[in-house]
Amino acid sequence: MEFRRLGRSGLTISEIAYGNWLTHGSQVEEDAALACVAAARDEGITTFDTADVYAGTKAEAVLGKALKGVRRESVEIFTKVYWPTGPGRNDRGLSRKHIIESAHASLGRLGTDYVDLYQAHRYDHQTPLEETMRAFDDLVRQGKVLYVGVSEWRAEEIAAALRIAAELGLDRIVSNQPQYNMIWRVIESSVVPLCEQEGIGQIVWSPIAQGALTGKYAPGAAPPASSRALDRLGSAFIKEYLSDAVLSRVQQLRPLAVQAGLTLPQLAVAWTLQNPNVSAAIIGASRPEQVRENVRAAGVKLGPELMSAIDEVLGPVIVSDPALTASPAGRPGDDD
């Protein structure tokens, strides 16, 4: 494993992190979940990402169980707040009430006194940003949260958070968690330049496009057994990547991966890590062999010729419109 700084902060994290969205407490049985975390630790991953909302709060409990007994100082535990965790109108968003209540619930489920990074899962247009930033800062002062970050925020939203933190003397955000992979590159034109300048690191999600960049989904063919595309919940999220146009281009990447001595998933994870603003790529896995395969991307350097060849192959299916980074206008889950 290789390690990087989380943005300009003093925190060191593994450049490949392990995340449990759609898997723990949902698609995979608990023994497989525990085996994946054990494989991740075995392979040198120290950074684990989850969220209060994953599997209706069950994912945090599974991760807490998987990390039970592990020396707390040897791992970095990241979680998030924003999406609904209950039926109430205050069980969502970034109000002071929900942030404080959800943080306490997350700590209980994770079985820890503090999380290393607490992230605003989206931007909340219904709460004054000052209120959110103060609530995060209070959690930091209380020692319940060590660092704060955001996820899927636009450049101007990140800039506003930095401005408020500077004006009010509050703890500043250190990270952003966007979707980023060879196909989905929407952060490159505005989020990354701002974050580079401000020392904010990207912790990127779906580095292998949820499995679409592994080459295991062939154009025009049924998805392989036990894949996310056949999972009740997961299928809704991966479907954007499963067009014949995308899948046939992905097949054309295979010879490039072979030439580089990598498998397709390794090439995909390594590609995200070539961006110096990326602090970590968060991989997901439904079985431990996937973790063991994907971690081999750590430390891999892809030369400029290979990077250009990838761009040439993927050309028309690359998505780069920065406007695609957007949070819901209302409170998530509210009807209005």
Ligand X SMILES: NC(=O)c1ccc[n+]([C@@H]2O[C@H](COP(=O)([O-])OP(=O)(O)OC[C@H]3O[C@@H](n4cnc5c(N)ncnc54)[C@H](OP(=O)(O)O)[C@@H]3O)[C@@H](O)[C@H]2O)c1
- Active site residue ranges: 54
Q: Which two tokens stand for residue 325?
A: 């980074």
Does 272 contact ligand X by CB under 6 A?
A: no
- Contact predicate 318/250, CB 8 Å: no
Does 49 contact ligand X by CB under 6 A?
A: yes
Helical pair 304-314 and 264-273, crossing angle rounded to 10 deg: 110
Among 209, 267, 273, 306, binds ligand X (CB under 6 A): 209
| CB of 212 vs ligand X, minimal distance in Å | 8
- Rank residues 141 and 200 by Cβ distance to ligand X and give the closer one: 200
- Rank residues 62 and 170 by Cβ distance to ligand X and give the closer one: 62
| The one segment of 2-10, 13-21, 158-166, 326-334 that binds ligand X by CB under 6 A | 13-21
Does 216 contact ligand X by CB under 6 A?
A: yes
Residue type, 261: G
Does 96 contact ligand X by CB under 6 A?
A: no
Site string for ligand X, 247-266 (x = CB under 6 A): ------------------x-
| CB of 169 vs ligand X, minimal distance in Å | 28
Q: At CB < 8 A and 24+ separation, what contacts does 225-233 make?
A: 226/286, 228/22, 228/27, 228/286, 231/22, 231/26, 231/27, 233/22, 233/26, 233/27
| The one segment of 153-161, 209-217, 252-260, 321-329 that binds ligand X by CB under 6 A | 209-217
What b/e sequence results for 117-131 when a residue is b if at least 16 CB atoms lie within 10 Å of its CB, and e otherwise?
bbbbbbbbeebebee
C-beta atoms surrounding 200 within 10 Å = 27
Site string for ligand X, 18-47 (x = CB under 6 A): -xxx-x------------------------
| CB of 121 vs ligand X, minimal distance in Å | 6
| The one segment of 84-92, 109-117, 239-247, 290-298 that binds ligand X by CB under 6 A | 290-298
- Contact predicate 240/208, CB 8 Å: no
Does 184 contact ligand X by CB under 6 A?
A: no
Does 154 contact ligand X by CB under 6 A?
A: no
Instruction: Give residues with Cβ within 8 angstroms of 287, minimum separation 6.
Output: 28, 32, 35, 36
**What's the half-sphere exposure (Cβ side, CA atoms, 13 Å) at 334?**
15
Does 191 contact ligand X by CB under 6 A?
A: no
Residue type, 287: R
Instruction: Give residues with Cβ within 8 angstroms of 214, minimum separation 6.
Output: 208, 263, 264, 265, 268
Does 76 contact ligand X by CB under 6 A?
A: no
Binding site for ligand X (CB under 6 A): 19-21, 23, 49, 121, 151-152, 177, 205-211, 214, 216, 227-228, 265, 282-286, 290, 293-294
